[in-house]
Amino acid sequence: MAEIILNVDVRDGVGTGSARAARRAGFVPGVLYGGDKAPVAVAVNEKDFRKSLYTGKLLGHLVTLKYGEETQPVIAKDIQFDPVSDRPMHFDLMRVDQHAPIKIEVPVYFKNADDAPFVRQGGSLEVVRHAVEIMVKADSIPEELVVDLIKSQMGDTIRFSDIELPKGVEPTITDRDFVIATIKVSSAAMSAAADEAAEAEAAPTEKTEG
């Protein structure tokens, strides 16, 4: 099972009033949904929820939901935060079969971005997709998908086929090798070139006396 365990209480009602009451009592309200069962309003102690959140292994990962003596695998699909205090305000959990494949977005990590040839060529990485939706078993969700840029040159296009896929991972988009990022002339290099051109144009022309 998963490393993180969320001990939940079942809430009465799913409205705003119920959620506010949970927050006043020191809990983070949430909803458990999915499978062939009806949605259930739940709440988790805010202090415990924060501890799980700060591990970096809560959102988008397989976790264990515990209610009394009952446990079940779930995926934390979404967490809403207060825009001012950054306090967790609400979360969504999806019921899953930990051994069955699910669709989920996983972040893309670009390795060796500072040491690639395009950096010395004045290029910059323009990311098209910061995350990619994949099909993978719930108990095998990767932390990230890795693209190695160590040989990338100016003008290259990074596609899904350039990702080092972990075993058992497949894209949900299967009809094309879609673009992840492109490598273009950086704005700094363009600005420097424009400055040089402007200086050259403004330079005084020497007159030759006859």
CATH of 5-98, one of 3.40.50.12280, 2.40.240.10, 3.40.50.1390, 3.40.50.300: 2.40.240.10
Per-residue pLDDT at 58 exceeds 70 = yes
The predicted pLDDT at position 203 comes to 57
Provide mean pLDDT across the span 123-129.
94
State the pLDDT confidence band at 194, using cuts at 50, 70 and 90: very low
Exposure class string for 9-23: b at 16+ Cβ within 10 A, else e: eebeeeeeeebebbb
What is the pTM assigned to this prediction?
0.72
Protein fold of 102-202: RNA Polymerase Alpha Subunit; Chain A, domain 2 (2.170.120)
Query: What secondary structure letter does DSSP report for 162?
Result: G
The residue ranges of every structural domain in the chain are: 5-98, 102-202
Rounded CA gap, 108 and 88, in Å?
24
The predicted pLDDT at position 200 comes to 58
62-113 pLDDT, tens per residue?
999 999 888 999 999 899 999 999 999 999 999 999 889 999 999 999 999 9
Q: What percent of the chain has pLDDT over 70?
A: 86
29-48 pLDDT, tens per residue?
999 998 888 899 999 999 99
